Each structure stands twice: as structure tokens, then as C-alpha cells.
Structure 1
Amino acid sequence: MSSEVAGPSTSCGQDQVDEDVTSQSKRMRLSTKSIEITDLNNNCLEHIFKFLNLNDLLNVAGTCKKFHSAANYPFSSNFGKKQFHLRYTYIERGSSAFSIDTFENDIYIRKLKIYLKCLRTFGHLINKLCINYDTMPIRDEIDLYINQYCSDYVKEIVFCWSMKGAMKNLTKPFPNVWSLAFSSCYLEDEITNFNEKFPKMKRLKFSGSNTIATRKCIEMNFSHLENLCIVDVDTHQSDTFFQPNNIATCIRLNPALRELEIGGELLNISFIQSVRKHLQHIEFLGIQLQSPKSLQLNTGTISLNIKRLKVDIRSGSMNPARMPKIPLVSNQLEEFSIKACNLWVKESLMDFIKKTPEVN
């Protein structure tokens, strides 16, 4: 009787062993099956791609649509907030052994092919552009790429060293640009139609030797303008740049201005006095002066409601000179900074601090 019962029990045990061996074999076959990177979902790909440098990320994004889509977030996270510079001079001369140089806040691209690829691949994610035209003959190609891939998305843009006709192909408006700057550029009518070209412009800056085709382009209301900066103006620009009356009209027509920075032979403390009644809403005032004499007023002081003041005096004299008293006063001033080269400033500063006891 016992032998009859033991038979079936042994058979069931063997079946269980065979089943376990079969399951283990299947698991082994599954575990050894190769997994392609294309099998990964977007979250995994994004995590992998975030460790790539810009050049490698560009190459990966160009392989297929799935990788392009997965590369968007790593690009935006690692590079989207940096300013992209195309330095034509370096492209022409081949002065850098590296095609891309990445810094904390800036990326310099040395090769045109890579720059165009970057605009084409990630132009919709680039927030800041600095276009240095120099004498590059292929500037038209750059402008066409900016039109097609960046103009609807970029938020800050700087133009440098553009010659006459350099920006003629920038035909599309830049609807999201809030910060606009020109340095040593030739500005034709097409680019200086600011309300149409840059409808959300909040900050407008001119520095260096700019040439303006139509001076009155600045004599209008810009509905979003809060910051106007006109500095490093050369004295020989009197026939090619804005005149003080053009800038004064701009200030008068834009009461929403909160920050003003000026500098040049004609844009001195006397200019501030001439427009003071239109500066009552200004919170920050920066003055760049080319000599201590530019700080002098014939009579009185200028009373404003500014909270922050910056004074930069560039004395060309080799001998130390005494800085004149600062003819400005504000009962709301909270911050004050001064940069004075080769000047005795102690007496002037003490006098100014007495008039503004709340200043830091």
C-alpha cells in the first residue's frame, strides 16, 4: 500500500523540478537578450544625454527624431540659459583649436558649420544670441538661419560690428525679444523700426561707435521700454549718432522708464539737468563721464527720486585731480557706487554722503 502511494508522489516532484528548470532557462534567455538604446524611453534617454557636451549632443540629436526629441530637455537644462556667440574672426583665422568653448554664462562657437547646425537643431531653445559680424562674408546665411529657427523664440540679442547692409536679411520680427543691444553697428531703417521688429522690447542699449541711418527712430513711445542705456559714445559720432535732443525726446515719450544709463561728451550732468523733470520715475541712474569737468554744474543741484546711482569718471590726466562735488541729491537713494580714475574723491564723497544719509 505504501509503495503505491509513493509512486505518484515521486512523479509530481520530478514534474516540479522540470518546471523550475524550464522557468530558469527562460529567465536566462530573457536576461541575455540585448537591449538597444533606441528601446529606452525618453526619460532614460534624457538622463543619459544630460551628461553630453554640446558637440556630442548636437551629433546625437541629428541621428533620428526620437533622439532629437530626447535631446531637447538636456540642451535646455545645460545650455539654454547661456549666451551663444558666433565669432566670425575666429572662424576666418582658425585661431582656436576647439570648435566650441563653454563657460559659465557663455558659449563661443568657432566653426560656421557647427553654428548653423546648432541653430537648426536647437534654435527654438536658445534664449540669448550675440552676433558678431566683423567682416564675415557669409553673414547672409547666418541671418537666414536666425530668421527660420530663432526669431520666434530668442529673448535677448546683441549685434556687434555690423557693417552697412549686414542685417538686411533679418526680415522677420522678434516677437519675444525683451533685451536688445547694439555695439559698433551700422543701423539701417529696417532694424531700427523697433516697435515692429521688437514689440516686447524692455531694454535698449547702444555702446561703442554706432551709426544710425535715421536719428528720429528713437523719438517715439515704446510701450514696454524700462531700461535705456547709451554709453561709450565717441566724440566724433556727432554726425552719425543720436543727438542729445533725440535722446531727450525718447526719455520724454517713455514715462515707463525705470533705469537710465548714459555716457559721452554731450551726455553729461548738464544733459541730466535738461531732462530732470522727465526722470521723476527713474529708479536707477548711471552716468559715464569722460572728464571731471563733465560733473560740474554752473548753479544748484539736481533733485531726483532715484534709489540707485552709479558714477563712472574716466580722467585722461596723468596727474591726480580733485573730483568736483556731485550735484545730485535724492531722499530715496539706497545704493551708490563710484569709479574714478586718478581722482581725489574723499571730499566730494563726504559732501555727497552728508546730503544722502540713507545711502549704502
Structure 2
Amino acid sequence: MDNRNEAAGRKRQPEGANLPANKRSKPSETVSADVQRASNKTAQKPTKIHYTRLRRRMEEEEEEKLAKLGPDPNLCTTKLTDVNVDCLEHIFKNLSLIDLLNVADSNKQLKPAADLVFASRYGKQSIEINLEFKFVRIFERNQQTAKILWLFCFKLLRCFGHSITKLKIIYGSSQNATLDVKIDRYVSKYCSKSLVEIELKHCASRTLNDLKKPFSSVESLYFVSCELGSKLSELNKWFPKVQRLEFLGANELSDCNDIAVNFPDLQHLSLYLPDVEKNRLNQKHFAELLRLNPNLQKLYIYGHIDAKHLQSFSKHLQHLESLEIHPFGYFSNAKNGTAHFPNVRKLKLRGWARRFPMTFDKLEELIVISIVMDQTLANFISKHKTLTKLNYAGNKYGEPGALLKITLPALDEVDFGYCAFPIDEVITFMKKCTSLKKLTLRFCDEKDYQTVQNRLGNKWRETEKEYYTTTMERQLTS
């Protein structure tokens, strides 16, 4: 019994009882150490960790319950990229062009639908890039929008260049050479297959020299006041399917000796031929171009051509159907011969001609502007019995007797604009032209029209009137 009490006494002895008196801890110090250890243990395992674990466990239990119940039929889990192209196209139709650009540039899966929207909305529109004033304009948009679009110019070519069909580029000054080169590179890279029509204005010779691959779909090509380099003689290589080629304004020929190119599909040609031979598209270049493209159907010439050159040109234009010359000037050497165009059906002359060294076999429509209606012009008109339409806009008064010379039996429609003739001549003209259905001319006084109406009866009726110009139409008899 004593031994058990002694053992129990030993168990109840505090820690450090066997230590010397000088090394034993005081009771207060022992409690303080226990508190410190407890606080350290609490700091190592904060309450937040326990909360996080508890929340995670609750979420897992919730997911397990939902998995057993199955998916909620009212919960939509479809992403935008999972929607088919037709639906996306319908959605994207409500976006502005800039937002559409951002969509196409941000996600490859959304781009096909954005392409469809751009093609349907802007694919047939002409897009103008102005490097001088820094704006991009789609012609239905205002100037403010054009300035904003300039910030997205290169993104526009990169994202939607393959859908652009009509493009006009107005180049800037020589200070913007770097910008010009960049635009040319982007157009060549992203638009070469899609463009059908392209107009270049004020471009430098390097524009043609920097071409890397052909524009395989271009049908209409316009150069307006451009500096044309050595590659002008290779235009058919870079634009193999051109049907309409126009040189408008003074086009400089910097390094080009000729434009001897053949376009298998060329139908319409317009050339600017000023009375300067140096560094210009001159008559020698023009003649060679016509010789290599004999199947032209429409030709527009702006410039000075004498009868000799006109006659030499006509030899290469046996299939020509439409001819326009502006200005059509004096032909002092008309005695050298006349130019014959066997298949031309439409002729338009503007200028101050006193001679007309040309003949036609099938001329149907004649438009004459700013040439005096005198006996010379009347004689030229009267030679072409196949004429059905005549449009004249020149001096206010026709020379007496001129109108009676052009009483052609096939004339169907005549428009003299503001040109007036004596009343007796007008009535005789209207009676002799048995095929005439519509006549527009100038009456100096209201009484003149009433006189014509009274003498012709109900056969003719006024259909339109503007100041002194009156349009009358023949009434069909039942």
C-alpha cells in the first residue's frame, strides 16, 4: 500500500521536480509557455483553411447530387462558337463595320460568318482609300466615318480584302512613299484574286514596278494622272483579263518606250492624248496599242487627232461599235483621206469641228456637242441614212435650211436641246420624218408652239416642258 501511494505521488510530481532548485521553472512561467505553444499552433493552421476545405466539400457534395439528378433542361450551355454559320451571319448583320472587323480579327471560328456579312453588305460597293487626306470611304458613308475607318485601313484589307471587288486608291505626295508601298503590298497580297475593278490616281511608277503577282479577276482598270513606269508594257501580264482600260488625265511615261500590249478580252479603251508628245501617251503609242487590240468595241479619245492619224487608226478598228472624240477639232489636212468605220453604231463628237473626215455604214446614234449646226454639219448628218437617234447641244439658233437637210426617213428620236429653228422648217421636218416619234427643241415664244400644234393637229402632243424647251411625241392612231 505504501508503495502504491509512493508511485502515485511520483506521477503527480510536476515536470522538472527532479531538477535542481535553481533550474526549476516557476508555475507562472510554465503556463505562459503552454499558451505560447498553443498560439503558435493556431497560427500555423488558421481558421480560413478549415473554411475553404469545408466549402470545397460542400461543393463536391452538391455536384454529386446534381450529377445523380441529371442536367437541367432549362440551362443553356451552348457557346457562341458552337452556333452554326447561318445563325451567326444573322446575328452579325446588326454590327457596325468596325465591330465586324474586330469580330473577324479576334476569332477564326467567327470569321466565316463575318465574311458573309461583309460580302453581302459591301462586296459590290466601291471602296476609296485616300492616302493624301488619310480617309477610307465606302461611298454610302459620310466623311466623319471615313476618317474613323482610316484607323482600320490595313485591318480592313487583311480581314476582308478577299471580298473587296471595287477599289479606288488616291496616292499622296512623295513624302508618303512608305505608306504608298505598304498599301500596294497589302492590296497585292489580300485583294489580287477578288478585285474586279481598280482605279489608281496619282500613282508613282514604283506602283507597277512593285507588283508581285497578277490580278487575275480585274476587268476594269483606270489610270488617272499617273506616272507610268517600264511595266506599262507588261500590263497584260499583271492584268490578264482586262475588258475596260482607261488612261484619264495626263499620264506620264517615265521609262516606257511603248505600250505594245495585247489584251484578249479588251472591249473598251479610253486614252488621253494632249497635244504634247514628250513623256505623254502620244499618237505613236496609241496606234500601236490599237494595232495589237483590233477587236475593240468602244473607243474614247480625249485629245487632238488630225485626219491622217484618224485614218491610220481606223484601219485597226474594223470591229469598233462606239466612238467618242473630245475635242473634235479642225482638220486642215482632211484632203489626205477619210477614216472609215464600217461597224460603228454610236458616235459622239464634242468640240469645234469644221470638217468631218469620217464615214460610217451602220451609224444609228449621233451625239454632237458644242459644234455649230450649220450646212457642213447638216451635210455630214444627212449622209448617214441609218440614223435613228440624233442629239444636238450647241448654239441656240440653227442655221436656216440646216434642219431640212437632215430629214432622214429612219429618224426615231431627235433632241435639239435649246436649239431653235424657223417654224416652217420645224413643221416640214416633222412631216417628212415619217418614223419620228419624239422631238425636243426650243421655241422662242409660246406662240410658236401653238402655231406648230394648230398646223399639225392632234398628231403631236406636248409631254414635257422646261422654260423654252418643249418635248413633243407623236400620237399613235388606233
Q: TM-score, normalised by structure 2?
A: 0.58
- 1:113-132 equivalence runs, <5 A: 113-132=151-170
2:301 match: secondary structure: strand
Between 1 and 2, higher relative CO (CA 8 Å, sep ≥ 6) is seen in: 1
Which residue is 1:58 aligned to? Answer: 101
Change beyond 3 A, Cα 1:41–1:162:
same
Change beyond 3 A, Cα 1:251–1:325:
same
Residues 231 and 256, structure 2, Cα contact 8 Å, conserved in 1: no
Q: 1:159 aligns with which of 200, 203, 227?
A: 200
**C-alpha displacement of 1:82:** 1.7
- 1:165-180 equivalence runs, <5 A: 165-180=206-221
Which residue is 1:245 aligned to? Answer: 284
2:334 match: secondary structure: coil
Which residue is 2:369 aligned to? Answer: 339
2:359 match: secondary structure: strand
**C-alpha displacement of 1:150:** 1.1
- Between the aligned residues of both structures, percent identity stands at 32
Partner amino acid, structure 2, of 1:161? H
Which residue is 1:204 aligned to? Answer: 245
Moved more, 217-226 or 256-265: 217-226
Change beyond 3 A, Cα 1:329–1:67:
same
Q: 2:131 aligns with which of 88, 92, 99?
A: 88
User: Which structure 1 segments of 5+ residues have no match?
Assistant: 1-25, 316-322
Which residue is 2:34 aligned to? Answer: none
Change beyond 3 A, Cα 1:354–1:32:
farther
**C-alpha displacement of 1:161:** 0.4
For residues 159 and 295 of structure 1, the distance between their equivalents in structure 2, rounded to whole angstroms, comes to 37
**C-alpha displacement of 1:336:** 2.5
Which residue is 2:86 aligned to? Answer: 43
Which residue is 1:275 aligned to? Answer: 313
Q: 1:356 aligns with which of 384, 388, 392?
A: 384
Matched, 1:190 2:231: yes
**C-alpha displacement of 1:270:** 4.4
Partner amino acid, structure 2, of 1:242? L
Highest CA radius of gyration, 1 or 2?
2
Which residue is 2:445 aligned to? Answer: none
Which residue is 1:5 aligned to? Answer: none
For residues 255 and 53 of structure 1, the distance between their equivalents in structure 2, rounded to whole angstroms, comes to 48
Which residue is 1:102 aligned to? Answer: 139
Q: 1:235 aligns with which of 265, 275, 286?
A: 275
- 1:295-310 equivalence runs, <5 A: 297-298=334-335, 301-304=338-341, 305-310=343-348
1:358 match: secondary structure: coil
Matched, 1:328 2:369: no
- 1:140-159 equivalence runs, <5 A: 140-159=181-200
For residues 344 and 357 of structure 1, the distance between their equivalents in structure 2, rounded to whole angstroms, comes to 21
Residues 235 and 264, structure 1, Cα contact 8 Å, conserved in 2: yes
Q: 1:263 aligns with which of 302, 312, 325?
A: 302
Q: CA RMSD in A?
A: 3.0
Residues 181 and 207, structure 2, Cα contact 8 Å, conserved in 1: yes
Change beyond 3 A, Cα 1:34–1:221:
closer
1:131 match: secondary structure: strand
User: Which structure 2 segments of 5+ residues have no match?
Assistant: 1-69, 390-478
Q: What are the superposed Cα offsets for residues 156-206 of structure 1, whole Å, 9 maximum, x if unpaired?
A: 211110234344432222222222221111111135411221222222211
For residues 259 and 183 of structure 2, the distance between their equivalents in structure 1, rounded to whole angstroms, comes to 27
* Matched residues, number: 311
Change beyond 3 A, Cα 1:139–1:220:
closer
Residues 158 and 180, structure 1, Cα contact 8 Å, conserved in 2: yes
Which residue is 1:76 aligned to? Answer: 119
For residues 78 and 217 of structure 1, the distance between their equivalents in structure 2, rounded to whole angstroms, comes to 41
Q: 1:134 aligns with which of 150, 172, 183?
A: 172
2:250 match: secondary structure: coil
For residues 53 and 345 of structure 1, the distance between their equivalents in structure 2, rounded to whole angstroms, comes to 55
2:363 match: secondary structure: coil
For residues 59 and 335 of structure 1, the distance between their equivalents in structure 2, rounded to whole angstroms, comes to 52
Moved more, 194-203 or 49-58: 49-58
**C-alpha displacement of 1:208:** 0.9
Q: What are the superposed Cα offsets for residues 61-80 of structure 1, whole Å, 9 maximum, x if unpaired?
A: 22312321001122112211
**C-alpha displacement of 1:226:** 2.2
2:349 match: secondary structure: strand
Residues 258 and 281, structure 1, Cα contact 8 Å, conserved in 2: yes
